[in-house]
Amino acid sequence: MRLPTEVGLGGVLLGTGVLAQVADAIEEVRQAPGPVAVIADEVEMAGPNGEVKSTLAVADMRRVTLPGRVVADQATLANATAQTNGAAVVLSVGSGTIADIGKAVSARLDLPHVVVQTAASVNGFSDDQSVLLVDGVKRTTPTRWPDRLLIDLDVIAHAPVELNRAGLGDLLATYTAPADWRLAQLVGQDDSYDAFAVTLARDHVDAVLEHADAIHRGEPDALERLCEALVLSGLSMGLVGRTAPCSGFEHTVSHLLEMAGAKPLHGAAVGSLSVLAAMLWARVRTVANAGGLRALRFPTAAEMEPRVRAAFAALDPSGRAADECWRGYSVKLERWHAARDEVTTLWERWPDAEFDGLLASPERLVAALRAARAPVRLTQLEVRDTTARWALANGHLMRDRFTVADLAYFMGIWEADDVDALLVGAARLGAGL
């Protein structure tokens, strides 16, 4: 693939038979003699010539096998870093979580990093950030660009179809998250909004949606389009140094589901939540255009801290998770008050027509998920009703990223009854719970 010149990703090899070029890619990035630390989990991954990890033609391998259901927490990172120390190159093989760990380890040890992507499940393989658990809270953390990303379409075709469907789900966030990012700029929360990054994130996604049914069938052209779109959306995040082009309210809620113990595939959850984010955006725009921006709320820290702590108290009896969430939210609340003069004129500056180009209708997103036979309802992902309602109601309280749910809350239209009403509307589309 041809990459924008500004990115730090050294190169992407995308096509059939790419796995055979792993050794060459390693030698291209190697800066010193020494073993290759292969970071992977215990999951067996089918490839065209057998299990992927066992068919790697790499000399002097040091296997760093992470046991169980891998979570990118501090203990796992410390373990992977200790086992990798002394190697010359990091080679991560597997899922988005494995790639995130590989990026973090390569950053800590300042080592070149080659990523072998084994499914088209998420867009986080091609950026310089990792989603890590900090005091039990999912946080996007700057780490390091991979030096090479290898995507063998024969390997992708052998991946479980639900993983590739999850990649489609992850891409649906590009039809909601950019509107959150633009909104954050409008209310003085984030001045980094970049239209080019939005275009890059969205590039190729329309074609993926148009051929979503072919992902279900595993058609080579459809899988190639899916992989290309995921790479470009990942690059968009790396270019601006944040996940905002592809991650908004839908991702925050997904993170909360995982923090609460639910175990959906990340991209699958994002897909179903993108439908709900699109619906919330429709509600906010309707109320805004009817004058709902003229009486925004400005709650104090004294009002909000108990609410934030109560929302997350059950996640961790020690209170560390609640502390971490309040640290993030309090920064956002301070910015909201600091920009009060600007915020109170939002009703005069509301660019409703611009949002038309940043958002897709919930109906379009539902149609794409159904065409791919991907989950549309959260309960299809074994997420409990009570957990989903809690995550939707409190997603805006977990971090400093401003999203449509923050504005809805400050408009007075994102309380428990509003969550219920949104889910009733979603049920009419066959979405939601």
Written as one string, the DSSP assignment of 25-87 is HHHHH--SSS-EEEEEES---EETTEETGGG---SSEEEEEEPSS---SHHHHHHHHHHHTT-
Position 136 scores a pLDDT of 82
For residues 135 and 320, the answer to whether their CB atoms sit within 8 Å is yes
pLDDT at residue 115 is higher than 80: yes
* Span 148-155, average pLDDT: 97
Position 392 scores a pLDDT of 98
* Span 128-150, average pLDDT: 91
Residue with tokens 């956002």: 332
Looking at the chain, the whole-number percentage of residues with pLDDT higher than 90 is 89
Query: pLDDT tens digit string along 67-84?
Result: 988 989 999 999 999 999
* Span 226-239, average pLDDT: 94
What is the C-alpha separation between 264 and 357, in angstroms, rounded? 30
Looking at the chain, the whole-number percentage of residues with pLDDT higher than 70 is 98
pLDDT at residue 295 is higher than 90: yes
Question: Helix (H, G, I), strand (E, B), or coil: what is residue 429?
Answer: coil
Query: Which residue segments constitute the domains of the chain, with CATH numbers given?
Result: 12-159 (3.40.50.1970), 163-428 (1.20.1090.10)
Q: Which of 185, 415, 374 is nearest to 283 (CA)?
A: 415
For residues 332 and 401, the answer to whether their CB atoms sit within 8 Å is yes
CA distances from 16 to 13, 21, 166 (A): 9, 11, 21
What is the C-alpha separation between 52 and 155, in angstroms, rounded? 8
Question: Helix (H, G, I), strand (E, B), or coil: what is residue 130?
Answer: strand
Q: Which of 6, 11, 56 is nearest to 149 (CA)?
A: 11
For residues 80 and 101, the answer to whether their CB atoms sit within 8 Å is yes
The contacts of residue 299 (CB under 8 Å, 6+ apart) are 333
Query: pLDDT tens digit string along 3-28?
Result: 444 567 889 999 999 999 999 999 99
Is pTM beyond 0.75 here?
yes
What is the C-alpha separation between 14 and 125, in angstroms, rounded? 13
Res. 134 pLDDT band, cuts 50 70 90: confident
Position 137 scores a pLDDT of 85
* Span 177-181, average pLDDT: 98
What is the C-alpha separation between 66 and 38, in angstroms, rounded? 10
Reading phi first (left if > 0) and then psi (alpha if -120 to 50, else beta), residue 262 is in beta
